[in-house]
Amino acid sequence: MAATPRKNKTARRILAAGAGLVTVGALVAAMPSAGAAGDRSGGGHGHGHDKGQGRLVDVQLLSFNDLHGNLEPPTGSSGRLTHLNEDGTTRTIEGVGGVEYLATHLRQARQGNPYSITAAAGDMIGASPLVSGLFHDEPTIEALNRLDLDVTSVGNHEFDEGARELARMQNGGCHPTEGCFEKGKRFRGADFPYLAANVTNEKSGKPLLDPYFVWERNGVRIGFIGVTLEGTADIVSAEGIKGLKFGDEVETINKYAKVLERKGVKSIVALLHEGGLPASGAYNYDCDSPGPGNGISGPIVDIAKNVSPQVDALVTGHTHQAYACTIPDPAGKPRTVTSAASFGRLYTDTTLTYDRRTKDIVRTAVASANHVVTRDVKPAGDMTRLIDRWKTLAAPIANRPVGHIAADIENPADAYEKPLGDLIADAQLEGMAPADKGGAQLALMNPGGIRAPLSHKASGAEGDGVVTYGEAYTVQPFTNMMTAVDLTGAQLVTTLQQQVSGPNQAAPKILQVSKGFTYTLDMTKTGADRVVVSSVRLNGEPIDPAKTYRVAMNEFLSGGGDGFTVLKEHKNKLVGASDLDMFTAYLAAHSSASTPLPVPAADRITVIK
């Protein structure tokens, strides 16, 4: 396979050698020097011939977000989209996504558009299926290089393995402990810049990565500012980000918009790994009906309303939702805000009309639409070969059968209690229940740690109903270590209340619970009152606020992740095996070819709507 041409990296000063951040006595990352870092001219990728030499030039911005290393076509609910019909009904589009098809769609979209930029809004890697995750996401970075990605912001999942590993993703080099995965090949790193304007060294205040990037062609200059969500520290492992500060998104974007303006760059796009929640789950829902931005809620609304009018468009992510909205800027002018769902199922095509005289975008002419990554196009051969190469390396591990299921066990995004969540919580309880393993009485599982459904249909030659190690890994790719901790009944109730209050009030994070633990959620109420305290029971007995309970959960939760700050108050922590090991052990112990595991009933949380 021919190598993808390298871009000029000589001007890149990302995580250069020098004083940096320390974790457990090891240097994690150094900061770029101040000044011109990030002010690079991205020469583009040669999409077509130069046209548009008049005053107005249409610049094509292709964007996507939250790929999460999904190189192969995602399965089950992860490979579906909802389409809104003209009569208001909806239909499900099956079989979408896959980087072979995303590459073809993007390459076709670029044809005839000499001014074409491809950008992303974070979480390109992390929580990835085994074919990428097993190799610390080197395959995904290689695929994005071949996809001709120009620039991306970091997302929270770019920090899953810490700042030092993110530096390796950018700059290349073989894994520090596992070495090079292919004989005679050294990982090259990303050809595109990762931007992290609001991720800084706590001591020096300098950005961890380049804060911005300038794309230029034939005098057309567009600046990109990249930020991740301010709350990243609450949803990633603390160990890997020691010494880092995650700043306010609006303040950071506005700061660097002024920097770009001073450098003569007046056309600016923000790549922001934070998002919104449209009123409909359909990818083609018009969130501007009946008025601009009226059909969308969530953090992105306030952010968009406060980001400087100097910024012409916002490409967003994190919520895995699909939208192409207009939200007024602080001056009241409409501004496009987009997100392309997740897993490579969609891409957004935005037309930015550039005025050569003013060097700015004609905001009224901006148009955006999300497009489905269908699988009815010819898959990109270079991507197919890339996937096959890494699958061959992964096969001895990935293809090992670990269990059997009777039907699809789903992980629906719109359900508070999920069949797969019940299964995982039960596996964690069983693994931590023995006295010498922790003595757990119940288990709690964070919904964001469940990354894919279990599909009954075979993904390879294993046969229908067979769960392979690779499929189990795709469900739980973080390999979090499990813990058993002491919590009082009062702390347990507070935990349930924190699912639907505080930072989780607007977008509840409903923990998945093990068998025997039941309660009622009254969603007609607000905040902590949504939990009906008198309904909380363990094995039929009301929870005693003064009694101590042994609770199993992964280390992310026991560290207070996802806004569950009360869980940090635990006592007597015992660390067990990984969540993935417990999941596969449970599947092996409770299923066989003749007695496959049935679909859990998902009847532990009663929801009043």
User: What residues have CB less than 8 Å from 332, skipping those under 6 apart?
Assistant: none
pLDDT (0 to 100) of residue 14? 35
Rounded Cα distance between 107 and 99, Å, is 12
pLDDT (0 to 100) of residue 254? 98
pLDDT digits (tens, 9 = 90+) for 446-501: 999 999 999 999 988 899 999 999 999 999 998 888 999 999 999 999 999 999 99
Question: Please, are residues 533 and 493 in contact by the beta-carbon 8 Å criterion?
Answer: yes
In which residue ranges of the chain is pLDDT below 50?
A: 1-50
Rounded Cα distance between 494 and 567, Å, is 9
* pTM, entire model: 0.82
Residue 399 φ then ψ, to 5°: -85, 0
Rounded Cα distance between 220 and 292, Å, is 29
Structure tokens at 192: 């595109």
- The H or E element spanning position 552 is strand 548-554
Rounded Cα distance between 92 and 69, Å, is 24
pLDDT (0 to 100) of residue 28? 38
Q: Where are the alpha helices (DSSP H) in 299-371?
A: 299-306
Q: What is the DSSP letter of 24?
A: T
Q: What is the DSSP letter of 512?
A: E
pLDDT (0 to 100) of residue 480? 86
pLDDT (0 to 100) of residue 52? 55
Q: Give the pairing of strands 346-355 and 81-84.
A: unpaired
Question: Please, are residues 570 and 550 in contact by the beta-carbon 8 Å criterion?
Answer: no
Tell me how far CA of residue 251 lies from CA of 246, 258, 270, 361, 364, in angstroms: 12, 11, 12, 22, 25
Q: At what angle do helices 99-110 and 138-146 cross, to 10 degrees?
A: 20
Residue 608 φ then ψ, to 5°: -100, 125
Question: Please, are residues 80 and 92 in contact by the beta-carbon 8 Å criterion?
Answer: yes
pLDDT (0 to 100) of residue 53? 67
Structure tokens at 577: 């095996």
Rounded Cα distance between 242 and 429, Å, is 31
Residue type, 325: C
